[in-house]
Structure 1
Protein backbone atom coordinates (compact mmCIF):
# COMPACT_ATOMS: atom_id res chain seq x y z
CA UNK A 1 0.00 0.00 0.00
CA UNK A 2 1.38 3.38 -0.92
CA UNK A 3 0.70 6.65 0.80
CA UNK A 4 0.66 9.45 -1.78
CA UNK A 5 2.05 12.71 -0.50
CA UNK A 6 3.01 16.11 -1.84
CA UNK A 7 6.31 15.87 -0.01
CA UNK A 8 9.57 14.97 -1.71
CA UNK A 9 13.00 13.64 -0.82
CA UNK A 10 16.48 13.80 -2.27
CA UNK A 11 16.90 10.81 -4.53
CA UNK A 12 19.83 9.38 -2.57
CA UNK A 13 17.84 9.63 0.66
CA UNK A 14 14.80 8.08 -1.01
CA UNK A 15 16.86 5.14 -2.22
CA UNK A 16 18.40 4.59 1.22
CA UNK A 17 14.90 4.70 2.76
CA UNK A 18 13.42 1.93 0.63
CA UNK A 19 16.44 -0.35 0.30
CA UNK A 20 19.28 -1.64 2.43
CA UNK A 21 21.80 0.59 0.62
CA UNK A 22 23.63 3.31 2.56
CA UNK A 23 23.42 6.92 1.35
CA UNK A 24 26.98 6.56 0.01
CA UNK A 25 26.13 3.43 -1.98
CA UNK A 26 22.88 5.01 -3.18
CA UNK A 27 24.83 7.96 -4.61
CA UNK A 28 27.11 5.59 -6.52
CA UNK A 29 24.12 3.77 -8.04
CA UNK A 30 22.52 7.04 -9.06
CA UNK A 31 25.69 8.40 -10.65
CA UNK A 32 26.11 5.10 -12.50
CA UNK A 33 22.71 5.63 -14.14
CA UNK A 34 21.04 2.67 -12.43
CA UNK A 35 18.04 4.73 -11.26
CA UNK A 36 15.07 5.98 -13.23
CA UNK A 37 12.29 8.23 -11.92
CA UNK A 38 9.02 8.11 -13.85
CA UNK A 39 10.93 6.51 -16.71
CA UNK A 40 13.74 9.07 -16.84
CA UNK A 41 17.31 8.19 -15.85
CA UNK A 42 18.57 10.46 -13.05
CA UNK A 43 22.27 10.82 -12.25
CA UNK A 44 22.06 13.62 -9.68
CA UNK A 45 21.81 12.28 -6.09
CA UNK A 46 20.44 15.66 -4.98
CA UNK A 47 17.53 15.53 -7.40
CA UNK A 48 14.26 15.63 -5.46
CA UNK A 49 11.70 12.92 -6.03
CA UNK A 50 8.01 12.93 -5.10
CA UNK A 51 6.99 10.18 -2.72
CA UNK A 52 4.44 8.90 -5.22
CA UNK A 53 6.94 8.77 -8.10
CA UNK A 54 7.70 5.50 -9.89
CA UNK A 55 11.32 4.77 -9.05
CA UNK A 56 13.20 1.85 -10.59
CA UNK A 57 16.56 0.37 -9.64
CA UNK A 58 18.15 -1.60 -12.50
CA UNK A 59 14.68 -2.04 -13.96
CA UNK A 60 13.04 -3.19 -10.71
CA UNK A 61 10.35 -1.05 -9.10
CA UNK A 62 10.95 0.22 -5.56
CA UNK A 63 8.21 0.58 -2.97
CA UNK A 64 7.02 4.12 -2.31
CA UNK A 65 8.29 5.75 0.86
CA UNK A 66 5.63 6.09 3.54
CA UNK A 67 4.20 4.44 6.64
CA UNK A 68 3.40 0.75 6.33
CA UNK A 69 0.39 -0.92 7.92
CA UNK A 70 0.36 -4.71 7.78
CA UNK A 71 -1.75 -7.56 9.16
CA UNK A 72 -0.15 -10.93 9.76
CA UNK A 73 -1.74 -14.25 10.66
CA UNK A 74 0.72 -15.34 13.33
CA UNK A 75 1.38 -19.07 13.81
CA UNK A 76 2.58 -20.67 17.04
CA UNK A 77 6.29 -20.71 17.70
CA UNK A 78 7.06 -17.13 16.66
CA UNK A 79 7.63 -14.21 19.00
CA UNK A 80 6.64 -10.60 18.45
CA UNK A 81 10.08 -9.03 18.52
CA UNK A 82 12.64 -7.63 16.09
CA UNK A 83 15.16 -10.37 16.87
CA UNK A 84 15.72 -13.16 19.35
CA UNK A 85 18.58 -15.59 19.94
CA UNK A 86 16.40 -18.61 20.65
CA UNK A 87 13.21 -18.19 18.64
CA UNK A 88 12.07 -17.08 15.22
CA UNK A 89 10.28 -13.74 15.15
CA UNK A 90 7.29 -12.52 13.16
CA UNK A 91 9.70 -10.46 11.03
CA UNK A 92 11.22 -13.73 9.82
CA UNK A 93 7.89 -14.40 8.10
CA UNK A 94 8.02 -11.19 6.09
CA UNK A 95 9.67 -10.21 2.83
CA UNK A 96 9.87 -6.46 3.30
CA UNK A 97 12.37 -3.71 2.66
CA UNK A 98 13.92 -2.45 5.90
CA UNK A 99 11.97 -4.88 8.12
CA UNK A 100 13.83 -3.63 11.20
CA UNK A 101 11.82 -0.41 10.99
CA UNK A 102 8.58 -2.29 11.59
CA UNK A 103 7.28 -2.96 15.09
CA UNK A 104 4.32 -4.87 16.45
CA UNK A 105 1.29 -2.89 17.58
CA UNK A 106 0.04 -5.25 20.29
CA UNK A 107 2.18 -8.31 20.87
CA UNK A 108 1.09 -11.94 21.14
CA UNK A 109 2.72 -14.71 23.17
CA UNK A 110 4.79 -17.34 21.40
CA UNK A 111 2.00 -19.93 21.60
CA UNK A 112 -0.84 -17.51 20.74
CA UNK A 113 -2.04 -17.35 17.14
CA UNK A 114 -3.93 -14.86 15.04
CA UNK A 115 -3.98 -11.20 14.16
CA UNK A 116 -0.80 -9.19 14.54
CA UNK A 117 -0.49 -5.63 13.27
CA UNK A 118 2.90 -4.26 12.22
CA UNK A 119 3.72 -0.67 11.32
CA UNK A 120 6.42 1.96 11.26
CA UNK A 121 3.90 4.68 12.22
CA UNK A 122 4.42 5.37 15.94
CA UNK A 123 1.28 7.47 16.44
CA UNK A 124 -0.91 4.84 14.83
CA UNK A 125 0.71 2.10 16.91
CA UNK A 126 0.09 4.08 20.12
CA UNK A 127 -3.58 4.48 19.22
CA UNK A 128 -3.86 0.70 18.82
CA UNK A 129 -2.17 -0.18 22.11
CA UNK A 130 -3.13 2.62 24.53
CA UNK A 131 -5.90 1.54 26.94
CA UNK A 132 -7.19 5.12 26.94
CA UNK A 133 -8.07 4.78 23.23
CA UNK A 134 -10.39 1.81 23.98
CA UNK A 135 -9.24 -0.15 20.93
CA UNK A 136 -10.87 -3.50 21.72
CA UNK A 137 -9.03 -6.74 21.03
CA UNK A 138 -11.10 -9.86 20.44
CA UNK A 139 -9.80 -13.35 21.35
CA UNK A 140 -11.16 -16.84 20.81
CA UNK A 141 -10.32 -18.78 23.98
CA UNK A 142 -10.38 -22.45 24.90
CA UNK A 143 -9.82 -23.52 28.52
CA UNK A 144 -9.11 -26.64 30.56
CA UNK A 145 -12.02 -26.12 32.97
CA UNK A 146 -15.62 -25.05 32.50
CA UNK A 147 -16.00 -21.28 32.14
CA UNK A 148 -18.62 -20.16 34.66
CA UNK A 149 -21.09 -17.31 34.55
CA UNK A 150 -19.30 -16.05 37.68
CA UNK A 151 -16.16 -15.58 35.60
CA UNK A 152 -18.25 -13.60 33.14
CA UNK A 153 -19.40 -11.29 35.95
CA UNK A 154 -15.91 -10.92 37.37
CA UNK A 155 -14.43 -10.00 34.00
CA UNK A 156 -17.15 -7.41 33.40
CA UNK A 157 -16.07 -5.47 36.50
CA UNK A 158 -12.34 -6.18 36.30
CA UNK A 159 -10.15 -8.66 38.16
CA UNK A 160 -6.93 -8.39 40.13
CA UNK A 161 -3.99 -10.12 38.50
CA UNK A 162 -1.08 -11.48 40.50
CA UNK A 163 1.56 -8.81 41.18
CA UNK A 164 -0.66 -6.04 39.75
CA UNK A 165 -2.03 -3.34 42.01
CA UNK A 166 -5.04 -2.36 39.90
CA UNK A 167 -7.95 -4.31 38.49
CA UNK A 168 -8.09 -4.99 34.79
CA UNK A 169 -10.43 -2.71 32.90
CA UNK A 170 -13.93 -4.11 32.35
CA UNK A 171 -13.93 -6.82 29.70
CA UNK A 172 -16.62 -8.55 27.66
CA UNK A 173 -16.80 -12.34 27.92
CA UNK A 174 -19.16 -14.22 25.59
CA UNK A 175 -19.68 -17.88 26.48
CA UNK A 176 -19.66 -20.07 23.35
CA UNK A 177 -19.50 -23.45 25.06
CA UNK A 178 -18.52 -25.02 28.36
CA UNK A 179 -14.84 -24.41 27.74
CA UNK A 180 -14.96 -21.99 24.83
CA UNK A 181 -15.46 -18.22 24.88
CA UNK A 182 -14.79 -14.97 23.08
CA UNK A 183 -13.09 -12.32 25.21
CA UNK A 184 -12.80 -8.63 24.37
CA UNK A 185 -10.32 -6.46 26.24
CA UNK A 186 -8.94 -2.97 25.65
CA UNK A 187 -5.65 -3.44 27.49
CA UNK A 188 -2.48 -5.31 26.68
CA UNK A 189 -0.93 -6.31 29.98
CA UNK A 190 1.70 -9.03 30.06
CA UNK A 191 0.00 -12.40 29.33
CA UNK A 192 -3.25 -10.69 30.27
CA UNK A 193 -5.81 -13.16 28.92
CA UNK A 194 -4.05 -16.16 30.44
CA UNK A 195 -3.62 -14.36 33.75
CA UNK A 196 -7.27 -13.30 33.83
CA UNK A 197 -8.43 -16.89 33.51
CA UNK A 198 -5.69 -17.95 35.92
CA UNK A 199 -7.15 -15.57 38.50
CA UNK A 200 -10.37 -17.59 38.14
CA UNK A 201 -8.57 -20.89 38.66
CA UNK A 202 -8.76 -21.82 34.99
CA UNK A 203 -6.08 -22.59 32.40
CA UNK A 204 -6.09 -21.29 28.83
CA UNK A 205 -5.26 -24.16 26.45
CA UNK A 206 -5.68 -22.28 23.16
CA UNK A 207 -5.71 -18.58 22.37
CA UNK A 208 -6.33 -16.91 19.01
CA UNK A 209 -6.75 -13.17 18.33
CA UNK A 210 -9.51 -12.49 15.84
CA UNK A 211 -9.71 -8.70 15.69
CA UNK A 212 -8.23 -5.41 16.85
CA UNK A 213 -10.77 -2.62 16.81
CA UNK A 214 -12.55 -2.81 13.46
CA UNK A 215 -9.64 -4.66 11.85
CA UNK A 216 -10.61 -8.33 11.53
CA UNK A 217 -8.12 -11.04 10.62
CA UNK A 218 -8.48 -11.83 6.93
CA UNK A 219 -9.64 -15.44 6.68
CA UNK A 220 -7.91 -15.74 3.31
CA UNK A 221 -4.53 -15.42 5.04
CA UNK A 222 -3.00 -18.77 5.91
CA UNK A 223 -0.84 -18.96 9.01
CA UNK A 224 2.38 -17.07 8.39
CA UNK A 225 0.92 -14.98 5.57
CA UNK A 226 0.39 -11.24 5.63
CA UNK A 227 -1.04 -8.37 3.60
CA UNK A 228 -1.12 -4.58 3.69
CA UNK A 229 -4.15 -3.01 5.35
CA UNK A 230 -6.72 -1.25 3.22
CA UNK A 231 -7.10 2.52 3.54
CA UNK A 232 -10.38 1.97 5.40
CA UNK A 233 -8.73 -0.40 7.89
CA UNK A 234 -5.94 2.09 8.57
CA UNK A 235 -8.43 4.95 9.00
CA UNK A 236 -10.53 2.89 11.45
CA UNK A 237 -7.83 3.55 14.08
CA UNK A 238 -8.20 7.16 15.18
CA UNK A 239 -4.80 8.80 15.80
Structure 2
Protein backbone atom coordinates (compact mmCIF):
# COMPACT_ATOMS: atom_id res chain seq x y z
CA UNK A 1 0.00 0.00 0.00
CA UNK A 2 1.21 3.55 -0.69
CA UNK A 3 2.46 5.31 2.42
CA UNK A 4 0.10 8.27 2.06
CA UNK A 5 -2.84 5.88 1.68
CA UNK A 6 -1.73 3.95 4.77
CA UNK A 7 -1.65 7.19 6.75
CA UNK A 8 -5.17 8.08 5.61
CA UNK A 9 -6.35 4.59 6.51
CA UNK A 10 -4.80 4.89 9.97
CA UNK A 11 -5.81 8.47 10.85
CA UNK A 12 -8.43 11.07 10.01
CA UNK A 13 -6.00 12.92 7.76
CA UNK A 14 -6.91 13.61 4.15
CA UNK A 15 -4.53 12.65 1.35
CA UNK A 16 -3.37 16.30 1.13
CA UNK A 17 -2.78 16.46 4.88
CA UNK A 18 -0.90 13.16 4.80
CA UNK A 19 1.47 14.49 2.15
CA UNK A 20 2.05 17.59 4.28
CA UNK A 21 3.17 15.63 7.36
CA UNK A 22 5.38 13.53 5.10
CA UNK A 23 6.98 16.64 3.63
CA UNK A 24 7.57 17.98 7.15
CA UNK A 25 9.50 14.84 8.09
CA UNK A 26 7.02 13.78 10.78
CA UNK A 27 6.63 10.23 9.46
CA UNK A 28 9.01 7.37 10.17
CA UNK A 29 8.98 3.89 8.65
CA UNK A 30 10.94 1.33 10.69
CA UNK A 31 12.69 4.22 12.44
CA UNK A 32 13.73 6.09 9.29
CA UNK A 33 12.22 9.39 8.19
CA UNK A 34 10.03 8.83 5.14
CA UNK A 35 8.95 11.63 2.81
CA UNK A 36 7.95 9.74 -0.33
CA UNK A 37 4.15 9.50 -0.46
CA UNK A 38 4.34 6.72 -3.05
CA UNK A 39 6.60 4.51 -0.91
CA UNK A 40 5.18 0.99 -0.61
CA UNK A 41 4.62 -0.20 2.97
CA UNK A 42 3.38 -3.49 4.42
CA UNK A 43 1.62 -4.79 7.52
CA UNK A 44 4.91 -5.74 9.19
CA UNK A 45 6.35 -2.21 8.91
CA UNK A 46 6.40 0.05 11.97
CA UNK A 47 5.00 3.42 10.88
CA UNK A 48 4.79 6.40 13.22
CA UNK A 49 3.75 10.05 13.15
CA UNK A 50 5.33 12.15 15.86
CA UNK A 51 6.38 8.97 17.63
CA UNK A 52 2.84 7.52 17.70
CA UNK A 53 2.49 4.13 16.01
CA UNK A 54 -0.20 3.82 13.35
CA UNK A 55 -2.52 0.87 12.80
CA UNK A 56 -4.52 0.73 9.59
CA UNK A 57 -8.26 0.24 9.82
CA UNK A 58 -9.69 -2.92 8.31
CA UNK A 59 -10.36 -2.97 4.58
CA UNK A 60 -13.84 -2.25 3.26
CA UNK A 61 -15.72 -4.21 0.60
CA UNK A 62 -18.99 -3.23 -1.10
CA UNK A 63 -21.24 -4.27 -3.96
CA UNK A 64 -23.18 -1.61 -5.86
CA UNK A 65 -25.86 -1.73 -8.55
CA UNK A 66 -24.52 0.84 -11.01
CA UNK A 67 -27.08 2.98 -12.80
CA UNK A 68 -26.81 4.29 -16.34
CA UNK A 69 -25.02 7.63 -16.84
CA UNK A 70 -22.63 7.15 -13.92
CA UNK A 71 -18.90 6.45 -14.17
CA UNK A 72 -16.46 4.11 -12.45
CA UNK A 73 -14.00 6.83 -11.50
CA UNK A 74 -12.77 8.51 -8.33
CA UNK A 75 -13.71 11.93 -9.69
CA UNK A 76 -16.91 13.34 -11.12
CA UNK A 77 -16.67 14.16 -14.80
CA UNK A 78 -19.46 14.57 -17.36
CA UNK A 79 -21.35 11.99 -15.28
CA UNK A 80 -21.13 11.51 -11.50
CA UNK A 81 -18.88 8.88 -9.96
CA UNK A 82 -20.56 5.74 -8.64
CA UNK A 83 -18.83 6.51 -5.32
CA UNK A 84 -21.46 9.22 -4.74
CA UNK A 85 -23.99 6.45 -4.10
CA UNK A 86 -22.05 5.02 -1.14
CA UNK A 87 -23.19 6.50 2.15
CA UNK A 88 -19.92 5.74 3.96
CA UNK A 89 -17.07 7.82 5.36
CA UNK A 90 -14.29 8.68 2.93
CA UNK A 91 -16.05 6.97 0.04
CA UNK A 92 -13.66 8.57 -2.45
CA UNK A 93 -10.70 6.83 -0.80
CA UNK A 94 -12.14 3.58 -2.22
CA UNK A 95 -11.62 2.28 -5.75
CA UNK A 96 -13.61 0.21 -8.23
CA UNK A 97 -12.55 -3.38 -8.95
CA UNK A 98 -13.62 -3.91 -12.55
CA UNK A 99 -15.03 -0.86 -14.27
CA UNK A 100 -18.13 -0.45 -16.42
CA UNK A 101 -18.83 2.10 -19.16
CA UNK A 102 -21.14 5.03 -18.41
CA UNK A 103 -23.98 3.43 -20.43
CA UNK A 104 -23.56 0.01 -18.77
CA UNK A 105 -25.46 -0.99 -15.63
CA UNK A 106 -25.11 -3.68 -13.02
CA UNK A 107 -22.67 -5.18 -10.56
CA UNK A 108 -19.71 -3.12 -9.40
CA UNK A 109 -17.29 -4.14 -6.63
CA UNK A 110 -15.74 -1.37 -4.54
CA UNK A 111 -12.93 -1.67 -1.99
CA UNK A 112 -9.78 -0.14 -0.56
CA UNK A 113 -7.92 -3.47 -0.63
CA UNK A 114 -5.58 -3.34 -3.62
CA UNK A 115 -4.53 -6.98 -3.47
CA UNK A 116 -8.16 -8.10 -3.31
CA UNK A 117 -9.18 -6.02 -6.33
CA UNK A 118 -6.14 -7.30 -8.23
CA UNK A 119 -7.47 -10.83 -7.78
CA UNK A 120 -10.78 -9.68 -9.28
CA UNK A 121 -9.41 -7.96 -12.37
CA UNK A 122 -6.08 -9.69 -13.12
CA UNK A 123 -6.27 -11.61 -16.43
CA UNK A 124 -4.13 -14.33 -14.84
CA UNK A 125 -6.92 -15.09 -12.35
CA UNK A 126 -9.42 -15.67 -15.19
CA UNK A 127 -12.32 -14.51 -13.03
CA UNK A 128 -15.64 -15.09 -14.80
CA UNK A 129 -17.88 -12.09 -15.42
CA UNK A 130 -21.41 -12.57 -16.74
CA UNK A 131 -23.28 -9.91 -18.70
CA UNK A 132 -26.85 -9.69 -19.93
CA UNK A 133 -26.64 -8.25 -23.42
CA UNK A 134 -29.35 -6.78 -25.64
CA UNK A 135 -28.51 -6.79 -29.35
CA UNK A 136 -29.68 -4.70 -32.27
CA UNK A 137 -30.04 -7.67 -34.62
CA UNK A 138 -31.79 -10.98 -34.14
CA UNK A 139 -29.77 -14.19 -33.90
CA UNK A 140 -31.53 -16.65 -36.21
CA UNK A 141 -31.95 -20.20 -34.95
CA UNK A 142 -29.88 -21.56 -37.81
CA UNK A 143 -26.91 -19.34 -36.83
CA UNK A 144 -26.99 -19.87 -33.07
CA UNK A 145 -24.83 -23.01 -32.81
CA UNK A 146 -22.17 -21.54 -35.08
CA UNK A 147 -22.13 -18.27 -33.17
CA UNK A 148 -21.76 -20.04 -29.81
CA UNK A 149 -18.79 -21.96 -31.26
CA UNK A 150 -17.13 -18.75 -32.47
CA UNK A 151 -17.31 -17.23 -29.00
CA UNK A 152 -15.92 -20.44 -27.47
CA UNK A 153 -13.03 -20.49 -29.95
CA UNK A 154 -12.18 -16.80 -29.49
CA UNK A 155 -12.81 -13.78 -31.69
CA UNK A 156 -10.38 -11.49 -33.46
CA UNK A 157 -11.07 -7.94 -32.29
CA UNK A 158 -9.99 -4.96 -34.32
CA UNK A 159 -6.62 -3.68 -33.14
CA UNK A 160 -5.79 -6.82 -31.12
CA UNK A 161 -2.96 -9.24 -31.89
CA UNK A 162 -4.54 -12.29 -30.27
CA UNK A 163 -7.97 -13.85 -30.09
CA UNK A 164 -10.22 -13.29 -27.11
CA UNK A 165 -10.22 -16.01 -24.49
CA UNK A 166 -13.00 -18.59 -24.75
CA UNK A 167 -16.36 -17.07 -23.84
CA UNK A 168 -19.71 -18.71 -23.17
CA UNK A 169 -22.75 -17.39 -25.04
CA UNK A 170 -26.34 -18.33 -24.22
CA UNK A 171 -29.42 -16.94 -25.93
CA UNK A 172 -32.11 -15.95 -23.44
CA UNK A 173 -34.83 -14.59 -25.72
CA UNK A 174 -35.53 -14.34 -29.43
CA UNK A 175 -36.01 -11.05 -31.23
CA UNK A 176 -38.33 -8.53 -29.65
CA UNK A 177 -39.82 -5.48 -31.32
CA UNK A 178 -38.33 -2.37 -29.72
CA UNK A 179 -39.65 0.23 -32.12
CA UNK A 180 -40.61 0.41 -35.77
CA UNK A 181 -37.08 -0.22 -37.02
CA UNK A 182 -35.11 -1.83 -34.19
CA UNK A 183 -35.18 -5.50 -33.20
CA UNK A 184 -32.98 -7.14 -30.61
CA UNK A 185 -32.02 -10.47 -29.10
CA UNK A 186 -31.22 -11.00 -25.43
CA UNK A 187 -28.20 -13.14 -24.50
CA UNK A 188 -25.96 -13.96 -21.54
CA UNK A 189 -22.22 -13.71 -22.14
CA UNK A 190 -19.55 -14.94 -19.72
CA UNK A 191 -15.95 -13.79 -20.26
CA UNK A 192 -12.73 -14.11 -18.24
CA UNK A 193 -10.90 -10.98 -19.33
CA UNK A 194 -11.62 -7.28 -19.57
CA UNK A 195 -10.31 -5.71 -22.74
CA UNK A 196 -11.42 -2.17 -23.59
CA UNK A 197 -15.14 -2.22 -24.52
CA UNK A 198 -14.71 -5.96 -24.95
CA UNK A 199 -18.33 -7.11 -24.99
CA UNK A 200 -19.35 -4.44 -27.48
CA UNK A 201 -16.35 -5.20 -29.69
CA UNK A 202 -17.00 -8.96 -29.61
CA UNK A 203 -20.50 -8.57 -30.98
CA UNK A 204 -19.31 -5.99 -33.51
CA UNK A 205 -16.83 -8.63 -34.72
CA UNK A 206 -19.75 -10.94 -35.60
CA UNK A 207 -21.81 -8.23 -37.27
CA UNK A 208 -24.12 -7.30 -34.42
CA UNK A 209 -24.45 -4.28 -32.14
CA UNK A 210 -24.92 -4.01 -28.39
CA UNK A 211 -27.83 -1.72 -27.48
CA UNK A 212 -27.93 -2.56 -23.77
CA UNK A 213 -25.41 -4.07 -21.36
CA UNK A 214 -25.81 -5.17 -17.74
CA UNK A 215 -23.32 -7.06 -15.54
CA UNK A 216 -24.99 -9.67 -13.33
CA UNK A 217 -22.15 -11.62 -11.78
CA UNK A 218 -18.42 -11.53 -10.97
CA UNK A 219 -17.04 -14.91 -9.95
CA UNK A 220 -19.54 -16.31 -7.46
CA UNK A 221 -20.75 -12.85 -6.40
CA UNK A 222 -24.18 -12.08 -7.84
CA UNK A 223 -26.05 -8.78 -8.05
CA UNK A 224 -29.21 -10.47 -6.79
CA UNK A 225 -32.11 -8.23 -5.89
CA UNK A 226 -30.16 -5.01 -5.29
CA UNK A 227 -32.15 -2.19 -6.90
CA UNK A 228 -30.44 0.34 -9.19
CA UNK A 229 -28.34 2.70 -7.08
CA UNK A 230 -28.46 0.45 -4.00
CA UNK A 231 -25.39 -1.02 -2.32
CA UNK A 232 -24.42 -3.27 0.58
CA UNK A 233 -21.34 -4.58 2.33
CA UNK A 234 -20.01 -7.88 1.02
CA UNK A 235 -20.36 -10.86 3.32
CA UNK A 236 -17.36 -12.56 4.87
CA UNK A 237 -17.89 -15.47 2.48
CA UNK A 238 -17.99 -13.18 -0.57
CA UNK A 239 -14.83 -11.37 0.49
CA UNK A 240 -13.01 -14.68 0.96
CA UNK A 241 -13.62 -15.59 -2.67
CA UNK A 242 -10.85 -13.20 -3.80
CA UNK A 243 -8.42 -13.29 -0.86
TM-score bucket (shorter structure): 0.7 to 0.9
Residue 196 of structure 2 aligns to a residue in which SS? coil
Structure 1 pair 92–140 and aligned structure 2 pair: CA distance change class (3 A): same
Residue 162 of structure 1 aligns to a residue in which SS? coil
Report how far residue 101 of structure 1 moved. 2.0
Please point out which of 82, 91, 116 is paired with 2:83. 91
Q: Give unpaired runs (5+ residues) of structure 2.
A: 1-5, 21-49, 175-184
Report how far residue 22 of structure 1 moved. 4.8
Moved over 4 A (4+): 19-24, 45-51
What TM-score results when the alignment is normalised by the length of structure 1?
0.74
Report how far residue 159 of structure 1 moved. 0.1
- What is residue 148 of structure 2 aligned with on the other side? 152
Cα distance in structure 2, aligned partners of 1:218 and 1:87: 25
Cα distance in structure 1, aligned partners of 2:16 and 2:122: 35
- What is residue 131 of structure 1 aligned with on the other side? 123
Cα distance in structure 2, aligned partners of 1:223 and 1:109: 15
Alignment of 1:74 with 2:66, yes or no, is: yes
Alignment of 1:16 with 2:22, yes or no, is: no
Cα distance in structure 2, aligned partners of 1:132 and 1:197: 24
Structure 1 pair 16–213 and aligned structure 2 pair: CA distance change class (3 A): same
RMSD across aligned C-alpha pairs, in angstroms? 2.6
Alignment of 1:222 with 2:223, yes or no, is: no
Count the aligned residue pairs: 195
Report how far residue 146 of structure 1 moved. 1.6
1:32-55 Cα shifts (integer Å, max 9, x gaps): xxxxxxxxxxxxx9776877xxxx
Q: Please tell me whether the aligned partners of residues 20 and 97 of structure 1 are also in contact (alpha carbons under 8 angstroms).
A: no
What TM-score results when the alignment is normalised by the length of structure 2?
0.72
